[in-house]
Amino acid sequence: MIAELAYQDLEPGSLARLFGAGHAAVLVRCPDIVAELWRGLLEDSAEQMPWEAPLIDIARNYHGSGDITASLGDLFYFQPGRHGYIARKMALSRGKGKGHVVARPAYFVQGGGHYVPRQALLDQCWAIGWRLMAALAPEGTPPADFQIVVQRLKYQESAGDFDRLDALARNSLGRWGRAGCALDERRSQAAGMLSPRGLSDLYGLLAEVPVIGRLLQGINRLLLRRDRSRDIAPGQRLIEGAHYDYRYFSALCGQREQMLTQVFADGRWIDLPIDRATLAVFPGSMATQAYGVRHVLHRVLHVEQQGEGPAGDPRTDNVTVLIGSA
């Protein structure tokens, strides 16, 4: 269910053929390219990452949207079972008549100064994204207008730190905001026929209502036992619930000890290798709409480790780099 391909074999339509054959993801082998990408995005000491920054710098770099997936700049999103990361996100474009790649946001505030991403790095990210996009489009079908998204996502090393950040985020809300978070948690537990949008909202609203709530929770427990997409192994904790990315594709690499990404295929969850030698690529909903490529359900888990492991680098440990197209 997971195919492999060398970067030099990426050509127009090559990913489309593999996804069309039923593969849920493709591992594109490119250790040299990932190493250069990692150096530029994570190891430039002149750049302060948001998980190293004071909160006010994150706020100054936040370019928000009502849709969390469309937000840019620096942000943190902690909500149990839905999301749990600190991130830096950019969108790259090359409009008609423009000879170079343009990034949004164009710079990041660092205390009293600014950090501007190097043009060579932006060009490299664009080149990788463009090649993947051309390979995703069926042969003979040039990619339509698109942007390349570049995201750096930091996850926590311990379950306790996820809990603390969840509590901190929730405490900043008012009473109705906290009630909304509780409703979101309940609706995320809806399984089977109760899980579609609308029905899950209704389940979230009614699950705590006397009598009818107990009845609905009983039905949901039966549905949970039959829903293989809700299976979680002992020692694992759900950080990002099962979802489809809206973009054309997502390509992941990273350095992760406690985090695990899985794709759902053939009625079971399959671990997706995320490392610094490959780009793990899977399609999103825009590929389904544009090319008929089936989007892939995936999730992110935290894996409990016994004992203390070797001390790592807090800047790069449990960090994922995502290159995508939208």
Q: Which CATH number is 287's domain given?
A: 2.60.120.330
Residues near 165 by Cβ (< 8 Å), separated by ≥ 6?
76, 78, 84, 156
| Whether 152 and 297 share a structural domain | yes
| Whether 122 and 168 share a structural domain | no
Q: 78-114 pLDDT, tens per residue?
A: 988 888 999 999 999 986 666 789 999 999 999 999 9
Domain boundary among 211, 230, 249: 230
d(CA 287, CA 298): 15
Domain boundary among 230, 265, 280: 230
Higher pLDDT residue, 282 or 229? 282
Residue 8: how many other CB atoms lie within 10 Å: 9
Q: Tell me which amino acid residue 180 is.
A: G
Indicate the pairing of strand 83-93 with strand 72-79.
antiparallel
| Nearest one of 29, 22, 30 to 2, comparing CA atoms | 22
pLDDT value for 145:
85
Mean pLDDT in the chain?
Answer: 91
Indicate the pairing of strand 2-6 with strand 25-29.
parallel
| Whether 56 and 147 share a structural domain | yes
| Whether 27 and 104 share a structural domain | yes
Contact 190, 203 (CB under 8 A): yes
| Whether 238 and 214 share a structural domain | no
pLDDT exceeds cutoff 90 at 31: yes
| Whether 100 and 194 share a structural domain | no
| Whether 30 and 43 share a structural domain | yes
Contact 195, 226 (CB under 8 A): no
pLDDT band at 53 (very low <50, low <70, confident <90, very high): very high
Query: Considering its fold, how many domains does the chain have in total?
Result: 2
pLDDT value for 54:
96
| Whether 41 and 184 share a structural domain | no
Three-state secondary structure call for residue 149 = strand
Domain hosting 172: range is: 163-230
| Whether 218 and 176 share a structural domain | yes
241: left (phi over 0), alpha (psi -120 to 50) or beta: beta
CA angle 191, 195, 201 (to 5 degrees): 120
| Nearest one of 8, 11, 15, 12 to 280, comparing CA atoms | 15
Lowest mean pLDDT among 43-47, 123-127, 167-171, 188-192: 188-192
Taking only Cα atoms into account, the Rg of the chain, rounded to an integer number of angstroms, comes to 20
What pTM was computed for the model?
0.91
pLDDT band at 197 (very low <50, low <70, confident <90, very high): confident
